């Protein structure tokens, strides 16, 4: 400040008396603010959970539930197709939406747009958004995740709706400070005076046969334990479309996780829903009804659990599968209802077992549903190590159909 003040005087911007007046005014303002703060009453204990999330827009409410009146049309599309369609329709609906991230644009320089095929992200999820909505609303960012999230926070506080992309979950960590200490708690620490309803799209997960340690991570529990942050994880194209639309229309920060292995799988394709199709957060889906064993799962383990359940059916074991779809919040009522029916439960996920997301579910089931259990809660998860490059090692590290099938058989026989 000393050098800056000297610079202003030397440049003739202000004289010494004017500079001192500014300093005195600032000192008075700080002193007055401190006096007001010291004289204020301490907040009541019951206010501590106020404004963790928006009090005006509730993405878990019926207002966001349109599944019952769903009508599909057109040819079946992949998860990439339906996410891309959602981004197109939402950007047309809301001019406040801006999309940016590493390589998300079709072309960095407008003058080449008509002569190149265009990129639209490394997975083509944002293809043709720049062509349709222009470079002021869709553009590439520096290769700096903290820059992406930090800029999105600033834009959101000014009334825009950033829907940004972190190219791979494995590189989200440089933005962790921005996410944990700025984005998620802005509303709470300002008592609802400020908000930053940013959507962060993140390709995640393994089963890539060579993705290895920098393209296969699945550390979701690091983010689900952050208050103020919604975390969503669809397992199929239709859910991805409806959940993303809810994320965009919500008023809270949302981490939207898209499993790379699921992007173009034929088994999770869907025809296209209407442009107002939404799925509320915290609403799980029973993807397979059963009576003997419950599997609580999400992401890539949904399909693996379905295959294992069909194998178990040959042994006379009836397996129910619950796809959580959103991880924070999650649908406790659906979990409890299933466990009360089957009395045996497996929590299956791609994350490591120790300190993973399933540990919270297993603990709560054991605590609140103990009297309904006829066997211990079983977890099927990745090993407590990193995802290796060699395919045979990746298969051993990540949970496979055989692992789920064995858990079903062992738990049923308990």
Judge residue 361's burial from the number of C-beta atoms within 10 Å of its C-beta, 0-12 exposed, 13-18 middle, 19 or more buried.
Answer: buried
Phi-psi bin for 124: left (phi > 0), alpha (psi -120 to 50), beta? left
Count the Cβ atoms, other than its own, within 10 Å of residue 155. 18
pLDDT given at position 108? 87
Active-site hit among 88, 177, 215, 261: 215
pLDDT given at position 110? 84
| pTM score of the predicted model | 0.93
Active site (annotated) includes residue 261: no
Which among 286, 304, 283 has a CA at the least distance from the CA of 380?
Answer: 304
pLDDT in tens, the chain (414 residues): 689 989 988 999 999 999 999 999 999 999 999 999 999 999 899 999 999 999 999 999 999 999 998 999 999 999 999 999 999 999 999 999 999 999 999 998 888 888 888 889 999 999 999 999 999 999 999 999 999 999 999 999 999 999 999 999 999 999 999 999 999 999 999 999 999 999 999 999 999 988 899 999 999 999 999 999 999 999 999 999 999 999 999 999 999 999 999 999 999 999 999 999 999 999 999 999 999 999 999 999 999 999 999 999 999 999 999 999 999 999 999 999 999 999 999 999 999 999 999 999 999 999 999 999 999 999 999 999 999 999 999 999 999 999 999 999 999 999
Where are the extended beta strands (E) located within 153-247? 161-165, 199-204, 230-232
**What is the β-pairing status of strands 254-259 and 293-297?**
unpaired
Judge residue 216's burial from the number of C-beta atoms within 10 Å of its C-beta, 0-12 exposed, 13-18 middle, 19 or more buried.
Answer: buried
Which among 118, 116, 85 has a CA at the least distance from the CA of 104?
Answer: 118
Backbone angles phi, psi at 155, to 5 degrees: -65, -40
pLDDT given at position 290? 98
């Amino acid at each position: 400040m000393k050098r800056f003040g000297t610079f202003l005087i030397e440049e003739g911007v202000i004289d010494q008396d004017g500079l001192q007046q500014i300093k005195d005014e600032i000192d008075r303002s700080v002193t007055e603010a401190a006096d007001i703060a010291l004289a204020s009453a301490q907040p009541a204990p019951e206010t501590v959970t106020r404004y963790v999330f928006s009090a005006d827009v509730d993405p878990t409410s019926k207002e966001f539930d349109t599944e019952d009146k769903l009508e599909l049309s057109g040819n079946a599309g992949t998860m990439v197709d339906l996410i891309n369609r959602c981004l197109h329709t939402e950007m047309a609906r809301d001019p406040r939406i801006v999309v940016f991230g590493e390589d998300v644009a079709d072309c960095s320089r407008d003058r080449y747009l008509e002569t190149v095929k265009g990129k639209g992200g490394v997975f083509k999820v944002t293809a043709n958004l720049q062509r349709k909505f222009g470079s002021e609303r869709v553009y590439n960012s520096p290769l700096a995740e903290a820059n992406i999230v930090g800029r999105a926070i600033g834009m959101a506080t000014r009334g825009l709706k950033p829907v940004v992309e972190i190219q791979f979950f494995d590189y989200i960590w440089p933005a962790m400070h921005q996410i944990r200490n700025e984005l998620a708690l802005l509303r709470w620490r300002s008592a609802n005076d400020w908000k930053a309803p940013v959507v962060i799209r993140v390709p995640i997960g393994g089963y890539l046969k060579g993705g290895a340690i920098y393209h296969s991570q699945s550390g979701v529990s690091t983010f689900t334990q952050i208050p103020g942050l919604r975390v969503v994880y669809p397992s199929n194209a239709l859910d991805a479309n409806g959940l993303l639309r809810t994320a965009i229309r919500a008023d809270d920060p949302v981490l939207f996780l898209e499993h790379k292995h699921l992007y173009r799988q034929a088994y999770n394709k869907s025809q296209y829903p209407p442009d107002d199709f939404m799925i509320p957060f915290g609403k799980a889906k029973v993807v397979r009804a059963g009576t003997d064993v419950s599997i609580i799962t999400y992401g890539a383990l949904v399909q693996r659990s379905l295959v294992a359940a069909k194998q178990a059916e040959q042994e006379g074991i009836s397996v129910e599968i619950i796809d959580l779809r959103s991880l924070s919040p999650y649908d406790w009522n659906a979990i409890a209802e299933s466990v009360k029916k089957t009395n045996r439960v497996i929590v299956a996920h791609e994350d490591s077992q120790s300190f993973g997301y399933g540990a919270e579910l297993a603990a709560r089931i054991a605590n609140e549903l103990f009297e309904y259990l006829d066997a211990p809660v079983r977890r099927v998860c990745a090993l407590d190590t990193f995802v290796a490059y060699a395919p045979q090692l990746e298969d051993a590290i990540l949970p496979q159909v055989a692992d789920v099938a064995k858990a079903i058989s062992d738990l049923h026989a308990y």
